[in-house]
Amino acid sequence: MKMKSESPIYRPMLWRALQTAWSHKELWPFAVLAGLAGTGVIVNDVLQQAEIALTPGVDVMNAVSGNIAMFIRGYVGIVFASGTSHIIAVTLGIWAILAGSAFLIALCQQLLLVAMHRSVHRKKKLTERELLRALHHHHFLRILGVDLLFHVVIFIVLGGGGFLLRNLPTSVPAGGALGILLAAAVLFIAFVLNVIAMLTVIAVGEERTTILDGIQEGIERFFRHPLVACEVALLVFAANLAFTIAFFFGLTVIALPTGFLFAEALSQTSLGIMIGVALVGTFAATVFTVCMAGFVTTFTYAVWTLLAEYLDRAPFSSRFHHHTRRVFSR
């Protein structure tokens, strides 16, 4: 029996997300900061978090380069030798910077989510007044709360899994297989939590729900079509790999003429030209990096926003389920 073909959703969704990201260039600077929240590129986020939590014997200081680690240790020693007042001032300054950065990232997330929500509903771009109205303090504070909550939960899951992996008895014959199964289970749980976190951020940022209602909506959306959500996460990861390749290719295009001109200036011992070439090359690389990062983050948020809209519509099957059903129906 021949199955009736279903209209594809992934291709038009990704294409529309690309168009949305390209048409909202004014959001790219905000998207660069929103991307620091670590939500959206689910597979990347899980792998980066698991790199620390699941790797046996990872020392935080060893993750930092030697020179920076030495500088930090030296500076900390100087601070502690400077007296209580200096320690308090430095501590308060660090906390103020961290808190300000977190608020700014959550605010940019709110702005990006509102803009993507309007784009999904075919509305015009946000005006400056609408942008300011969209940035209500309790909305982006809820987004900040969701970000912190899920990062803590995922860190506990990955950290607990890493602790269990490091303490598995290696002498047992089945220890290796058990370790692989445990690592796979922990990574899968972190993967699902990251997907739910993104859907929750969308619910809180766009629909003005509370954190608890947003979590409930994110969970319901995920379990309504879990395979679809997982497939979209993998598609976003694949798209980001392609963007990463394009990014390094673009940097190479910038670096080659810059390096050639710098070498020519060096051969002529022209300090002014050397400085000018270096500044122009650095500026071009910086602008390209910001534009690329902003575009990719905007694309990622557009994909998840569109998926959230799809998940609220009529039922549809994942590509895995669709192809599996076709195979067994023959």
Domain ranges of the chain: 17-321
- 272-316 pLDDT, tens digit per residue, is 888 888 888 889 999 999 999 999 999 999 998 888 887 776 555
Separation of alpha carbons 61 and 70, rounded Å: 9
- 154-186 pLDDT, tens digit per residue, is 888 888 877 777 776 665 566 567 777 877 888
Higher pLDDT, 58 or 153: 153
Higher pLDDT, 273 or 134: 273
Single out the residue of 246, 248, 226, 258 nearest to residue 299, CA to CA.
246
**pLDDT value of residue 74:** 54
Mean pLDDT value across residues 105-134: 73
Asked if pLDDT for residue 71 goes beyond 50, the answer is: no
Task: State pTM to two decimals.
Answer: 0.76
Separation of alpha carbons 91 and 228, rounded Å: 45
Judged by DSSP in three states, 78 sits in helix
Separation of alpha carbons 294 and 291, rounded Å: 5
- How far from chain centre, in Å, is Cα 36? 7
Mean pLDDT value across residues 31-51: 69
Judged by DSSP in three states, 214 sits in helix
C-alpha distances (whole Å) from 149 to each of 34, 130, 157, 303 are 17, 29, 12, 23
- 136-152 pLDDT, tens digit per residue, is 656 778 888 888 888 88
Single out the residue of 41, 44, 45 nearest to residue 154, CA to CA.
45
User: What DSSP string describes 102-141?
Assistant: HHHHHHHHHHHHHHHHHHHTTPPPPPHHHHHHH--HHHHH
Separation of alpha carbons 151 and 219, rounded Å: 16
Mean pLDDT value across residues 217-241: 86
**pLDDT value of residue 299:** 92
Asked if pLDDT for residue 16 goes beyond 80, the answer is: yes
Check if the beta carbon of residue 54 is closer than 8 Å to that of residue 186.
yes
Structure token pair of residue 174:
């089945």
